[in-house]
Structure 1
Amino acid sequence: MITATPHRAPLPHALPVPSSSVRSAHEEDAAELAELSRPFVHSGALRERPASLYAAHAADFLVTQTPGRPIEGCVGLRVHPAVPGEGRGPVGVLYNFCVAGHSQGCGVGAGLLRTVLAMARAQSLDALFTATTGGGGLFLRYGFAPAPAPAPARLAPSSWAESLDPRRNARILTKVL
């Protein structure tokens, strides 16, 4: 008995699937950023911010988006300059970090975080701070740690630390760069 392997026709070339990329936000993204953030505001994970604030601070934001589709995730990075006499250089605060439900677990948040970390290093920031009402697992995987008890008063930018609502029970995380 002779056996032969059947000849398979070559598979047609798959059409390229557009991939998402991280980019700087634009003022025109403001309404979409507010919409992306809305479920997180309703859950208590984020503060409510009007679209006008997103427009005014668009330069703070990175977004992940697949061409022709809605924004999948965003993060804001606000740089706080060094304060004379504090013994530290400039630091950054990450805020309004969110990923659309359908894109969670797909690497969108990790891509945003890697990009914002590279930006912070390129800007020679001494450290990054963020506040989270959740577990902060992604931040912890990327080297953030709970800030020592006096950190908000001593290490974090005081204007930011004082703006945190104590009723939200946010945990401050920091990463030295």
Structure 2
Amino acid sequence: MSTRDGLGARPARPGEAEQIASLSAPFVEKRLLIHRTTAELAQKIEEFVVVCEGDRLVGCAGMAPVGASLVVYNLCIAADCQGRGIGRQLVGLAASIGKEQGYQSLLALTRYGGEWFGRLGFSNVPASETRDEWRTLFRPGRRSSLYRLRLASDSFRG
């Protein structure tokens, strides 16, 4: 699917795990993303959507089901392409896919970026409202916050 500014969003292809790992590496170094090996990314390549500018992969996001929700993970954008709406586009694509597949909500777990997710229509999920099935998403010691976008209500502000 084509997008503005010569960018194209599409499902990731087999063989692109190394590019996703390279794109993710600066975020892993800053502890913004969890480290996943190229082999782990290759095993889950069907969960990823990417944005390309020509032949260059400039953004990616993984999506995995957890109960009645779809979790967005490993969302990252190349440093020189940030601020162009690529992250918003990837989250919008995830929301569309989630709706089409009948999920009730889109979840995002982050140590930072809660305000950004809020601008897209996500709301913070207080610990007291965290469902048991969502608790498996939390990594010990990471101190992440959970954000939810209800898909039935067209609340995405992309």
TM, length-normalised to structure 1 = 0.78
Q: Which residue of 2 aligns with 1:63?
A: 50
Matched, 1:134 2:112: yes
Q: Which residue of 2 aligns with 1:78?
A: 64
Q: Which residue of 1 aligns with 2:23?
A: 36
**Contact 1:18–1:67 (Cα < 8 Å) also in 2:** no
Q: Compare the two structures and name the one with the higher strand fraction.
A: 2
Q: 1:3-152 counterparts in 2 under 5 A?
A: 19-68=6-55, 70-81=56-67, 90-152=68-130
1:107, CA displacement in angstroms?
1.0
What amino acid does structure 2 have at the position aligned with 1:115? L
Moved over 4 A (4+): none
What amino acid does structure 2 have at the position aligned with 1:75? A
Write out per-residue CA displacement over residues 47-98 of structure 1, whole angstroms, 9 at most, x where no aligned residue. Answer: 0000111111111101000122x211111110234xxxxxxxx211110011
CA distance in 2, matches of 1:99, 1:47: 15
CA distance in 1, matches of 2:123, 2:9: 25
Q: 1:153-172 counterparts in 2 under 5 A?
A: 154=131, 157-158=133-134, 161-172=135-146
1:21, CA displacement in angstroms?
0.9
What value does the CA root-mean-square deviation take over the aligned residues?
A: 1.7
**Contact 1:145–1:173 (Cα < 8 Å) also in 2:** yes
1:163, CA displacement in angstroms?
4.4
Long gaps (5+) in structure 2: 152-158
**Contact 1:110–1:138 (Cα < 8 Å) also in 2:** no
**Contact 1:44–1:168 (Cα < 8 Å) also in 2:** no
CA distance in 2, matches of 1:97, 1:46: 8
Q: Which one has the largest radius of gyration?
A: 1
Q: State the secondary structure of the residue aligned to 2:6.
A: coil
Long gaps (5+) in structure 1: 1-16, 82-89
Matched, 1:173 2:147: yes
